[in-house]
Amino acid sequence: MWLIAVYDCPMTTPEARHEYTVFRKRLLKNAFIQVQYSLYVRHFPTMAAAEAMIQRLKHQIPSDAKVAFMLMTDKQYAMTREFLGPRPKQQRPDAPDQIMLI
Amino acid sequence: MSEHHVLLIENPCALNIHLECLKISRAGEEPIRIRPSDIAVLCLHHHTVQLSVHVLRRLTESGAAILVVDDQHQPSGMMLPTFGRPHATVRLRQQIELDRSKLHALVWQQLVSARLRSQSWVLEAYGRAPAARLARLAGLVEPGDAGHLEGQGARLYWDSLFDQPFKRKKRDAKDMINIHLNFGYSLLRSLITRELAQAALRPELGVGHRSTENPFNLADDFLEPYRFLVERLVVSRPPHKGEKFSSEHRRQIISGLFEQNVRLGDQDFRLPAAIRKTIASYLRILEAGGVGRRRKLLLPERPQ
């Protein structure tokens, strides 16, 4: 199960920027991977685990921000079609294997 | 908690903690980030991996085992979490209690019997003759394995398991089959030892293994009923002679081990969960002190 977080955060005042940074870091601390500027994804082994993450994050979104958490099955995520410009910098992350050989 | 990733580090890289995640940076590649609480075992298989005490601390705090491997692909050291230790004294007393009572002989009987049964399954699957004899031996095990049926079973088993003449070698093995087996066992043992540590059990105090030089006697006890998983894997894909033990082989063993479901009671479990269940059943025996019917270990049953 993939959890996708997309957001719009106001950045007009220093306080708002600070709140935004805190939220962004919170996503990174929870092992979300940044795919685009305001689009983060993370893989979960079960739907319940993804649901729990949403519950934990939903109280911590910045004021005046708009955040959407979208759930996608592995199959749906695999159907994503992605296009990169002529100098691609990064690729979409894959679901982590249980065994990771590094 | 999804603490089930096994990380095998076989190439030079740097590990550090970044934003509460373990970050693995390799030259020329995107860094990987993983939550420490998702890691079951970190296996350091390359001598130039860089990491700090901070990394070790975070990983052990979240319950991961860290394994250092030598050039023979054998674990040369292991670091285990010590949390969950408030029960440690109680557990130690219970373990000593069990060791003094006759109950430990009954526990060892179950383990040996399960080991013999699992050996007969593997032989049966490959149509080897002594399968029936091993199954019969499994029913004859006495408390404490007084008749040393484990040894008898092992001789029958190793003599007939492979097509080629085979001699089991635990240390400094040079042949591919033994290297494969030893690697698989060591991975299983690290999973078991980690569960023991989390249950605050002392791995030195074994039930049937009582060597004064082995710090993992209890882990070796619980290894017995699970060893067939490794053996079945190696027999199903026998390594060729003269091949090198490559990282691809290691990957095959590890993913093969984790892909198999283990049947306990009437349910299938993934390997780490099955080990946890078995150890939980041992804890129930310890806590009941052998009173009543709580004397049965939950051990792997015939795979479907």
The CA distance from B273 to B4, in Å, is 9
What's the Cα-to-Cα distance from B182 to each of A40, B129, B175, B212, rounded to whole Å? 41, 25, 11, 21
The verdict on a CB contact (< 8 Å) between A31 and B5 is: no
Nearest chain A residue to B20 by CA distance is A29
Predicted pLDDT of residue B2: 47
The CA distance from A86 to A59, in Å, is 40
Question: Count of CB contacts below 8 A, A vs B?
Answer: 55
Mean of the per-residue pLDDT values for chain A?
86
Strands B5-9 and A99-101: parallel
Cβ atoms of B150 and B111 closer than 8 Å:
no
For residue A7, the SS3 value is: strand
The pair of structure tokens assigned to B30 is: 């995107």
Facing A99 at nearest CB: one of B26, B32, B254:
B254
Confidence band, pLDDT 50/70/90 cuts, at residue B74: low
Return the minimum-mean-pLDDT range out of A74-88, B66-80, B84-98, B176-190.
Answer: B66-80
Confidence band, pLDDT 50/70/90 cuts, at residue B268: confident
Predicted pLDDT of residue B62: 83
For residue A63, the SS3 value is: coil
Nearest chain A residue to B248 by CA distance is A101
The burial class, CB within 10 Å (0-12 / 13-18 / 19+), for A65 is: middle
Tally the residues of chain B.
304
Nearest chain A residue to B41 by CA distance is A99
Facing A99 at nearest CB: one of B26, B34, B251:
B251
The verdict on a CB contact (< 8 Å) between A33 and B33 is: yes
The CA distance from B185 to B84, in Å, is 26
Residues 6-35 of A with CB under 8 A from B: 25, 28-31, 33
Calculate how close chain A gets to B95, using CA atoms only, in Å. Answer: 34
Predicted pLDDT of residue B1: 38
The CA distance from B120 to B205, in Å, is 28
Q: Calculate mean pLDDT across residues B261-274.
A: 86
Tally the residues of chain A.
102
CA B63 from centroid of its chain's CA atoms: 16
* pLDDT value at B169 more than 90: no
Cβ atoms of B28 and B64 closer than 8 Å:
no
Predicted pLDDT of residue A52: 93
Angle of CA points B54, B190, B152, to nearest 5°: 165
More confidently predicted of B291 and B153: B153
Q: Residue type at A62?
A: P
Return the minimum-mean-pLDDT range out of A78-92, B46-60, B243-257.
Answer: A78-92
* pLDDT value at B242 more than 90: no
Q: Is the dihedral of CA B132, B135, B140, B141 positive or negative?
A: positive
DSSP string covering A42-92, please?
EE-SSHHHHHHHHHHHGGGSPTT-EEEEEEE-HHHHHT------SS----P
Predicted pLDDT of residue B72: 64
What's the Cα-to-Cα distance from A85 to each of A33, A35, A88, rounded to whole Å? 20, 15, 6
The CA distance from B150 to A78, in Å, is 49
* pLDDT value at A72 more than 80: yes
Angle of CA points B108, B110, B115, to nearest 5°: 95
pLDDT 10s digits, A16-37: 999 999 999 999 999 898 888 8
Q: How far apart are the first and last CA of chain A?
A: 23
Predicted pLDDT of residue A40: 93
Chain B CB contacts of A21 below 8 Å: none
Nearest chain B residue to A93 by CA distance is B32
The verdict on a CB contact (< 8 Å) between A98 and B38 is: no
The verdict on a CB contact (< 8 Å) between A99 and B258 is: yes
Nearest chain A residue to B251 by CA distance is A101
The verdict on a CB contact (< 8 Å) between B255 and A46 is: no
Mean of the per-residue pLDDT values for chain B?
83
Calculate how close chain A gets to B295, using CA atoms only, in Å. Answer: 34
What's the Cα-to-Cα distance from A79 to each of A46, A72, A73, B173, B267, rounded to whole Å? 19, 10, 10, 47, 33
Chain B CB contacts of A28 below 8 Å: 19, 21, 33
The verdict on a CB contact (< 8 Å) between B7 and A49 is: no
The CA distance from B115 to A10, in Å, is 63
CA B44 from centroid of its chain's CA atoms: 17
Predicted pLDDT of residue A66: 92
* pLDDT value at B76 more than 80: no
Calculate how close chain B gets to A21, using CA atoms only, in Å. Answer: 13
H or E element, residue B56: helix B53-61
The CA distance from B79 to B59, in Å, is 10
A90 touching B, CB under 8 A?
Answer: yes
Chain A CB contacts of B26 below 8 Å: 102
The verdict on a CB contact (< 8 Å) between A29 and B19 is: yes
Q: Is the dihedral of CA B288, B290, B292, B298 positive or negative?
A: positive
* pLDDT value at B189 more than 80: yes
pLDDT 10s digits, B49-64: 899 999 999 988 887 8
Q: What is the ipTM of this complex?
A: 0.72
The CA distance from B273 to B287, in Å, is 21
The verdict on a CB contact (< 8 Å) between A102 and B11 is: yes
Predicted pLDDT of residue B47: 83
pLDDT above 70 as % of chain B: 93
Chain A CB contacts of B20 below 8 Å: 29
* pLDDT value at B223 more than 60: yes
The pair of structure tokens assigned to B77 is: 């050291």
